Structure 1
Amino acid sequence: MNKLGNAFDIVVEQSFDFLSPEYAELFDRSAATAFQHPIWLHSLYTRLAPEAGATPLVVVVRYRATDALAMVLPLLRIRRGPLRTVEFADLRVSDYLAPVCSPDVFSQLLDDAAACAQIRRLVRPFDLLRMVKLPDGRLAIENLLGASGRVSMDTNAYATVLVAPFEQWRASAIDRSYQKELAKKYRRLQKKGALSFSCCGDVACVLEALDVMRKFRGPRFHAQGDGDLLQRPKYYGFYSDVALRGLGSFVRLYAMEMDGEVIAAVLGLCHRGTFLIIMSAFDIAGYRSQSLGALMFEQVARDCIERGDQMLDFTIGDEPYKKLFGAQPSPMWAITQAGSTAGAIALFALKQAPWLKLAGKRLSDLRLQPARTETPTH
């Protein structure tokens, strides 16, 4: 049962500094994911939120006695169609969402009735509270917000455990026949010219690889609704900013070159012994029968093992290739809560009609247009 307490001060700080030392310290001792990293959230709030017409809703919890940070809840207010929604800071770029807090402090907050009530007051008003992409086994944000229980999403995340040496991991994770197939294709690829694989170590390499990724991904995703995010200047700026700020620590950008030209690239985040793949691109037109993607992921795994990583995370999506590398599925969760009659009607309709649920998903993924002063877009 919750108890009344006065241990915390809780406010909304729209201009919270995610690059501050105090947030870095909080993040390091928290149970948050790579997608709440200081660099990631700083770029998301400064580059993407204004473009989406989204208002920062950063709930900041401090210890009253010391003014030290206890928790940060990075949220956004976004109008989606007629509905006022409150969501995690995502905007289609984050795969895992979580409060930035240690499990112990989170338990203290749940046990503090006054703190829970204040957080719930600050989050309102909304028509719909929508929290998706919640990883399995993480902090129960629904209890803090007074929302109904989480439900499983229709997609999973996938990760493979890495073991050294590389040959041992490959033997245990990849089917023997597929190992032979990849080895054969790699030998054929080597015969086409001077083949190299590397991790970008300077600004020029990063910018070249990102530019090539944008070129390769455009045609590949053209048929998928509104296409690839990298084709949009604001998103390209976001990923470039994250890559350059995090180069050598938080971010790795791998490139495969043939005769000095980039033919494949993989962008990912480094977090607590895990490398999380967030974006990849391959010259499919030029190397259609070479399985460039699979060969690239194999080389990424090799480099991660040599660096001492324990996990290669392919993140969200049920693409079949992930299982070819021994990746195991992990469920993803979502919570929703109505905050008005309009929200209740929308939530009821989505639960009753599968086609409306699909329409709701498409609504949430609508193309972000430049924000206008008079009416926020989504």
Structure 2
Amino acid sequence: MMELNVSEDFDFQSEEYSDLYTQSDCTAFQHPVWQTAMQQHVRKQIGLRNKTLQFRCKKSGQLVGILPLVARKKMGTNILEFANLGLVDYALPTLHTNFWQWVPNPSTLSVELDRVLGRYDMLRIKHMPSNDPNFLRLLPNACMERAKFSAHVAELGSDYDSWRTDVISKAERKSRDKKRRAMMRNGDWQMNRLTDPADITEAFNHLKLYHKERFADRPGKDMLQDGSSFRFYVDLACHSAESGFSRTYSFTYDGDIVAVQFGLHDGDRYLYLIMGVDYERMGKYSPGLLMTEDIIRDCIKDGIKTFDLTVGDEPYKAKFGTKPLAIYTLWHASSMLGTMGRTVADLMHKQKVGNNLLRWMSN
């Protein structure tokens, strides 16, 4: 049997969460290091409150599931959301692989879930890399909505040259090699994996600038230009570089930083999260493609098997032998107000009408 409770200060650095994570099918976004940083980030936000849902074995007290939520009010509506804040590409509950052995009757547990979570109008879990999560069994009235974008994932081999030959066309390889030779003739291109906090901070300042220039005309919010989110990334990168959980790659050309990439390394998977390039200086060499190749070579050297380019349908991702991964949002209305809001938003999307409610639904 299972018991549920909600905490505003759950310790994601605890041994019990570490044990749960190792026995769960999750991603680096559920890793103890990421979750600890995220909870600290949430506490700094005005109008948000941590509500971490815990599932425990009633008899032994063993932690068998965690769902990190935040509570907020929007337009008079009480909202529960996955602790995402625009920073999480893969939102999943952290559930023990044998979670359902403690749940003989999911419908009974769903009643308990409503009681423990308290009054809310809408529950939203955005960026779920699955359309059939086990958690959906606890919310029989929930629905899954396919996102308009996908994630993109490439499987790597044990040898870089063989992998490159297998997944990249001869013409594309020839084009990249030609650009690399031209680049190397005109300057010195170097890749560095950074661990010193001062070096990481300097690299992120360049990343912020290059990212702003490249994504200025794209829809959505550039999280690197938000002061709080930028500090979240820098702190995480500095504090977890030595352990290897995060990687910050800096690329220099004749000694100047011209490209930066930040990602997460968990097990045999690397998640390629953010990149920025000085395209004004380097654009003619297709530096994004070349730096990604260099990082893949580094990952294969370290025995990493999966190169995850995460969410977004940028065309360059298809040039690395990736396969698309569908992304979904889970919606669960718990009141008439929540149901009405969801219905109205659906109608507005179909009619392409924009207002505050529509913007809320898309953010």
Query: Of the candidates 299, 306, 310, which is equivalent to residue 304 of structure 1?
Result: 299
Residue 53 of structure 1 aligns to a residue in which SS? coil
Q: Give the partner amino acid of 1:62.
A: R
Residue 142 of structure 2 aligns to a residue in which SS? coil
Which consecutive residues of structure 1, in runs of 5 or more, have no partner in the other structure? 1-6, 367-378
Query: Of the candidates 236, 239, 242, which is equivalent to residue 236 of structure 2?
Result: 242
2:162 paired with 1:165: no
2:298 paired with 1:264: no
User: Offset at 1:218?
Assistant: 2.1
TM-score, scaled relative to structure 1: 0.89
State the match for 2:7 in structure 1. 13
User: Offset at 1:357?
Assistant: 8.0
How far apart in 2 are the matches of 1:103 and 1:219? 43
Query: Of the candidates 203, 209, 223, which is equivalent to residue 229 of structure 1?
Result: 223
Alignment of 1:358-377 (within 5 A): 362-364=359-361
Deviates more, 1:115-124 or 1:290-299: 115-124
How far apart in 1 are the matches of 2:353 and 2:24? 37
CA contact (8 A) 1:147 1:335 kept: no
User: Offset at 1:152?
Assistant: 1.8
Residue 286 of structure 1 aligns to a residue in which SS? helix
Q: For the structure 1 residues 143 and 225, does the alpha-carbon distance in structure 2 shift closer, same or farther, using more than 3 Å as the test?
A: same
State the match for 1:372 in structure 2. none
Residue 337 of structure 2 aligns to a residue in which SS? helix
State the match for 2:38 in structure 1. 44
How far apart in 2 are the matches of 1:46 and 1:294? 35
How far apart in 1 are the matches of 2:141 and 2:39? 25
How far apart in 2 are the matches of 1:70 and 1:29? 9
Alignment of 1:56-75 (within 5 A): 56-75=50-69
RMSD over aligned CA atoms reads 2.1
Deviates more, 1:350-359 or 1:31-40: 350-359
Matched residues, number? 360
Residue 249 of structure 1 aligns to a residue in which SS? coil
Query: Of the candidates 72, 77, 80, which is equivalent to residue 83 of structure 1?
Result: 77
Alignment of 1:1-378 (within 5 A): 7-106=1-100, 108-109=102-103, 111-136=105-130, 139-224=133-218, 227-247=221-241, 248-353=243-348, 354=350, 355-356=352-353, 362-364=359-361
Deviates more, 1:231-240 or 1:198-207: 198-207
Deviates more, 1:243-252 or 1:269-278: 243-252
Which consecutive residues of structure 2, in runs of 5 or more, have no partner in the other structure? none
User: Offset at 1:149?
Assistant: 3.8
Q: For the structure 1 residues 225 and 165, does the alpha-carbon distance in structure 2 shift closer, same or farther, using more than 3 Å as the test?
A: closer
CA contact (8 A) 2:68 2:83 kept: yes
How far apart in 1 are the matches of 2:6 and 2:238? 29
